[in-house]
Amino acid sequence: MRKIGTLESAKAAEKFHRFLLSIEIESQVDEQPPVWEVWISDDDQLDKAKAELESFVNFPDDARFNVKNLPESKKKTLPSTVHKKRTSSNDIAVTRFLFIGSIMMTIYTGMGARHPEVMYALSFSKYVKPDGLWHLPPEIMHGEIWRIFTPIFVHLSVFHLLFNMYFLWLLGNTIERTKGSFRFLVYCLLTAAGAHFTQYFIAGPGFSGISGVVYGLFGFLWMKQMVAPEEGYFVPEMLLAQLLIWLFLGISGVLDAWGLPIANGAHFGGLLAGMLIGSLPSRKK
């Protein structure tokens, strides 16, 4: 499925959905307040569907969009109402797992204040890297590979958790729905690894949270928007501004002065890993 854009009312979404069916383009409309997202099934029809949506937005009263009678073969695919949301939770299974797992582990560990044995089991390492050396943490060298990824599940403040969950949900929904859960999981693992190794070699092992993955997913979408616009990805300017401003506030030291320590290495490592993945050509479905 590919998202081609949004409409501002259920009536408009239903009308455009009927029109797409009439011209042999299979589509689905999902409510994602305050808008309705329009998705199509066939990548080969992406450009045509986008052009028709642009025309519909500009000229919604054009007579050709008033489809009253559909062929019998198409009537069975027309829903009685616009979908409130995608009905299959498997569409975003990984996003849900990361979202729920992060909240549960943050609560269980008391934002790092309880269960030190669990905190250590989820941490990247407890050993500080010797200055000037590129040694891997001894725990990972001895086979505890999960530590490369598990720091994402613990957050050390309510603000830390809310910030990351907000962006994870926005970005995860977009990518996992279009790329599928398996590839999305691979992207998350790769960006987590890039973020955590970068932070470890720059500043040591004292970090946690999923913000490196968040910046990785952002980097993936940002790059796809630039190098593969035909795939239909779009990063809203407000989202772009929020994440870049936050990134530069962390670099400036302002957030540290406000009592909000930031893992800048993880943000940059995740961002670069995501941009690298996003620059790779996609295998067409």
CA distance 219 to 43: 23
Give the whole-number percent of the chain exceeding pLDDT 70: 90
pTM here? Answer: 0.70
pLDDT in tens, 151-188: 999 999 999 999 999 999 999 998 998 889 999 999 99
What would the mean pLDDT of 238-251 be, rounded to a whole number?
89
Q: Look at 42-46, 62-66, 70-74, 273-277 and tell me which has the smallest mean pLDDT.
A: 70-74
What would the mean pLDDT of 255-278 be, rounded to a whole number?
90
Q: 33: cis peptide before it, omega within 30°?
A: no
- CATH class in words for 89-279: mainly alpha
**What are residue 83's phi and psi, to 5 degrees?**
-60, 135
pLDDT in tens, 205-238: 989 999 999 999 999 999 998 998 877 787 888 8
Choices 3.30.70.2350, 1.10.490.10, 3.30.70.20, 3.40.980.10: CATH for 2-64: 3.30.70.2350
- Where in the chain is CATH 1.20.1540.10? 89-279
What would the mean pLDDT of 22-43 be, rounded to a whole number?
83
Burial class of residue 75 (count of CB atoms within 10 Å of its CB; 0-12, 13-18, 19+): exposed
The answer to whether the beta carbons of residues 210 and 98 sit under 8 Å apart is yes
Local confidence band at 192 (pLDDT 50, 70, 90 cut-offs): very high
What would the mean pLDDT of 103-117 be, rounded to a whole number?
96
Local confidence band at 259 (pLDDT 50, 70, 90 cut-offs): confident
CA distance 87 to 31: 11
Give the whole-number percent of the chain exceeding pLDDT 90: 48
pLDDT for 266: 95
Rg of the chain over CA atoms, in angstroms? 22
The yes-or-no verdict on residue 268 having pLDDT over 70 is yes
The answer to whether the beta carbons of residues 239 and 163 sit under 8 Å apart is no
What would the mean pLDDT of 244-271 be, rounded to a whole number?
87
Average pLDDT value over all residues in the chain: 86
Closest CA to 79 of 23, 26, 9, 8: 26
CA distance 194 to 148: 9
pLDDT in tens, 58-106: 888 888 888 877 655 554 444 444 444 444 445 799 999 999 999 999 9
Q: Residue holding tokens 């009592």? A: 259
- Where in the chain is CATH 3.30.70.2350? 2-64
Local confidence band at 121 (pLDDT 50, 70, 90 cut-offs): very high
